[in-house]
Structure 1
Amino acid sequence: MSKINLAPFDPAMHAELLRQWLYSPHVLEWWGNPEGNLQEAIQVLPTTQQAMIIFDNQPVGYLRWELWSASQLEEIGLSGVPNSIDIDIFIGERSLIGQGIGTAALRSLLSLLAATTTAPVASICASIKNEIALRAYEKAGFQRIHQYPDFESGMCWLLTTPLR
Structure 2
Amino acid sequence: MTIRFRRMTDGDLPAIRNWLHQPHIRQWWGDPDEQYGLIDGDRDEPAMDQYILLMDDDAAGYLQCYALTQWNEGFGPQPAETRGIDLFIAGQERIGRGHGPRAIRAFCDLVFQHAIPRIVTDPSPANARAIRAYEKAGFRRERLVETPDGPALLMSREPGDLPPRQSEPS
Q: TM-score, length-normalised on structure 2?
A: 0.81
99-108 or 138-147, which deviates more: 99-108
Hey, what does 1:145 align to over in structure 2? 142
Specify the SS of the correspondent of 1:108: helix
Aligned residues: 157
Structure 1 partner of 2:106: 108
Long gaps (5+) in structure 1:
none
Task: Answer whether contact 1:121 1:163 (CA < 8 A) is retained.
Answer: yes
In the alignment, what sits opposite 1:5?
4
Q: What is the CA distance between 1:89 and its match in structure 2?
A: 0.5
Structure 2 CA distance for aligned equivalents of residues 68 and 41 of structure 1:
16
**Matching residue of 1:55:** 55
| In structure 1, C-alpha distance between the alignment counterparts of 2:22 and 2:91, rounded to whole Å | 9
Q: Which has the higher strand share?
A: 1
Which amino acid is the alignment partner of residue 39 of structure 1? G
Q: Match for 1:26: what amino acid? A: H
Q: Which segments of 5 or more consecutive residues in structure 2 lack a partner in the other structure?
A: 161-170
Separation in 2, partners of 1:46, 1:141: 31
- Between stretches 42-51 and 85-94, larger displacement belongs to 42-51
The separation in 1 between residues aligned to 2:157 and 2:148, in whole angstroms, is 24
Q: 1:25 aligns with which of 17, 23, 31?
A: 23
Contact persistence 1:49–1:64 (CA under 8 A): yes
Corresponding residue SS for 2:145: strand
Checking the alignment, whether the CA contact within 8 Å between 1:6 and 1:108 is kept in structure 2 is: no
Contact 1:114 1:163 in 2 (8 A): yes
Counterpart of 1:60 in structure 2: which amino acid?
A: A
**Residue 63 of structure 2 corresponds to residue 67 of structure 1:** no
1:95-151: per-residue Cα shift (whole Å, max 9, x none)?
1011121111112211221122x4421001111111111111011111000012445
Distance across 1 between alignment mates of 2:125 and 2:41: 30
State the distance in 2 between where 1:43 and 1:150 align. Answer: 20
TM-score (norm 1): 0.83
Task: Give the distance between the partners of 1:114 and 1:45, measured in 2 at CA.
Answer: 23
1:90 maps to what in 2? 88
Identity score, percent:
28
> By how many angstroms is 1:36 displaced?
3.1
Q: Counterparts of 2:141 and 2:159 in 1: how far apart (Å)? A: 16
CA RMSD of aligned residues (A): 2.2
Q: Paired residue for 2:154?
A: 158
